[in-house]
């Protein structure tokens, strides 16, 4: 029989959001050509009997080679970050082109595009962080850049140097609606956080653990509620980043139940850590500092339920790598107060193994017998759909052959030394997980096999994408925006 495929992965258990089944996967060119039993011979064959054949992970919230608002460059380059991603089974990431105040958005996107093209080993796209919502940014740059395929914007509702207040946020929501872009938001009440932080420091409570207290849990629910009210006014879909509290998840659940087009994510740090992880001797707790901070065990349970119910649709890493030294976490000195310590955790490489262990190996009770299906949806299919990453996120004919072969029997204890990013530590050191990716393919090219990398810097591809269905207005006009009820005014 003549060879019909470049590669056939035989006999593995394919995991999809709709179910699981044993089949062969035939690859031709950069795509999945066929799925079935007894496929014709390939030029190369891999026996995946007893293994899981899953879509490569999509990490839709990562900070790579990014300068913070305070001027601190994080630890990873596109080369190191995407290397780490590949070893963890992730084949596509969405990072940020981060505008700061006074910067030209087009130049920002051009600069990050150069960095990605030089270093990325996996495929990538950009969210555009908007911190300078002036007339040029809103009227010229956003329309042009969205047309060029950068169709998601990120806005911060807190942090002094990059926050966007309500009125300019409404301008951005309207610009997103008019140009077919999705708005992604860090939603916390800035006043509450600023006020609490000052009170704590004034009274001498400066240890890293007090970071968890400085972000009141009510600040999240309040900001999400305010954001959703603005989105409902304009009829503009929104993605709420890194939900950390039961109350925040409940606000999202209510909005979705009312038919509003609201999406939301959480991250492993909110599913596996609590505020007590910051309570370490000396400055050690800084390794667990991120914003929002980890909360309580009851919040972990609420977030798992929200994922199972579909209130939260994705789990991203929010990879924000700062070394535990003077170049990163301790840039303000070894005795810095919590307000002076860089926020963020590394997580590109550990995200999928942690979730595989929880959902597939251990089987979270919220998901019943559908842990593998949930894993496939939350880590690949859902982010591909929401962010319109065409041909990504599924094991299906015509899709990119982005595939990870997982050995469900491999037990790994996570250590700092085994990580491939440049942070120098992982907050998950000591966690033992069952299930690990042993082979990873990007568009049919094997980029990682048995602990060895087989990809060159710059071999990843920039994905340009229109906004897609998730960014489209729902058509539920508020009375103020409906010409039938606002005396005929056309505001959109």
Average pLDDT for runs of 10 along the chain of length 492: 83 98 98 97 97 98 92 95 98 98 96 98 98 97 98 97 97 98 98 98 97 98 98 97 98 97 98 98 97 98 98 98 96 94 97 98 97 98 98 98 98 98 98 98 98 98 98 94 92 86
The whole-number pLDDT of residue 2 equals 52
Has this prediction a pTM greater than 0.95? yes
What is the C-alpha to C-alpha distance for residues 304 and 285, in angstroms, rounded to an integer?
25
What confidence score (pLDDT) does residue 423 get? 98
Structure letter (DSSP) for residue 457? T
Query: 259-288 burial by CB neighbour count: b if 16+ within 10 A, else e?
Result: ebbbbbbbbbbbbbbbbebbeeeebebbbb
* Rounded Cα–Cα distance for residues 474 and 306 (Å): 23
pLDDT, residue 152, reads 98
Q: Where are the domains of the chain?
A: 57-380
Residue 34 CB coordination number (10 Å): 16
pLDDT at 1: 44
State the Cα–Cα distance between residues 266 and 307, nearest whole angstrom. 9
**What pLDDT score does 78 carry?**
98
CATH topology of domain 57-380: TIM Barrel (3.20.20)
Q: Which residues pair with 156 in a beta bridge?
A: 163, 186
Length of the chain equals: 492
């Amino acid at each position: 029989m003549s060879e019909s495929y470049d590669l056939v992965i035989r006999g593995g258990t394919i995991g999809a959001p709709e179910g699981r089944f044993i089949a062969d996967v035939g690859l031709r060119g950069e795509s999945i050509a066929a799925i079935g039993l007894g496929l014709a011979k390939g030029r190369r064959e891999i026996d995946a009997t007893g293994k899981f054949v899953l879509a490569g992970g999509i990490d839709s919230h990562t900070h790579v080679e990014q300068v913070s608002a305070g001027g601190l460059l994080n630890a990873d380059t596109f080369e190191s970050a995407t290397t780490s991603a590949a070893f963890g089974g992730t084949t596509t990431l969405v990072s940020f082109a981060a505008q700061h105040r006074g910067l030209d958005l087009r130049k920002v996107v051009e600069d990050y595009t150069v960095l990605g093209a030089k270093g990325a080993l996996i495929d990538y796209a950009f969210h555009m962080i908007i911190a300078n919502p002036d007339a040029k940014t809103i009227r010229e740059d956003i329309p042009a850049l969205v047309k060029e395929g950068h169709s998601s914007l990120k806005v911060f509702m807190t942090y002094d140097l990059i926050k966007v207040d309500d009125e300019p946020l409404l301008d951005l929501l309207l610009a997103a609606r008019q140009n077919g872009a999705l708005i992604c938001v860090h939603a916390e009440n800035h006043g509450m956080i600023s006020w609490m932080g000052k009170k704590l420091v004034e009274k001498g409570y400066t240890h890293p653990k007090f970071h968890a207290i400085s972000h009141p849990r009510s600040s999240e629910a309040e900001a999400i509620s305010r954001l959703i009210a603005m989105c409902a006014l304009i009829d503009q879909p929104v993605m709420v980043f890194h939900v950390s509290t039961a109350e925040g998840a409940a606000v999202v659940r209510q909005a979705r139940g009312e038919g509003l087009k609201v999406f939301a994510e959480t991250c492993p740090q909110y599913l596996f850590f609590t505020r007590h992880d910051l309570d370490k001797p000396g400055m050690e707790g800084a390794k667990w500092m991120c914003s929002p901070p980890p909360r309580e065990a009851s919040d972990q349970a609420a977030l798992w339920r929200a994922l199972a119910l579909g209130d939260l649709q994705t789990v991203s890493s929010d990879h924000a790598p700062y070394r535990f030294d003077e170049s990163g976490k301790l840039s303000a000195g070894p005795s810095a107060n919590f307000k002076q310590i860089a926020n963020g955790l590394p997580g590109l490489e550990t995200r999928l193994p942690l979730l595989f262990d929880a959902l597939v190996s251990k089987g979270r009770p919220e998901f019943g017998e559908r842990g593998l299906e949930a894993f496939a949806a939350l880590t690949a299919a859902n982010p591909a759909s929401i962010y319109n990453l065409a041909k990504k996120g599924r094991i299906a004919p015509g899709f990119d052959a982005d595939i990870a072969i997982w050995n469900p029997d491999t037990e790994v204890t996570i250590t700092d030394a085994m990580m491939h990013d440049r942070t120098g530590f992982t907050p998950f050191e000591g966690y033992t997980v069952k299930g690990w990716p042993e082979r990873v393919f990007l568009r049919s090219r094997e980029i990682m096999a048995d602990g060895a990398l087989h990809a060159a810097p710059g071999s990843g591809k920039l994905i340009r994408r229109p906004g897609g269905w998730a960014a489209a207005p729902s058509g539920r006009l508020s009375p103020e925006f409906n010409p039938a009820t606002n005396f005929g005014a056309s505001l959109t």
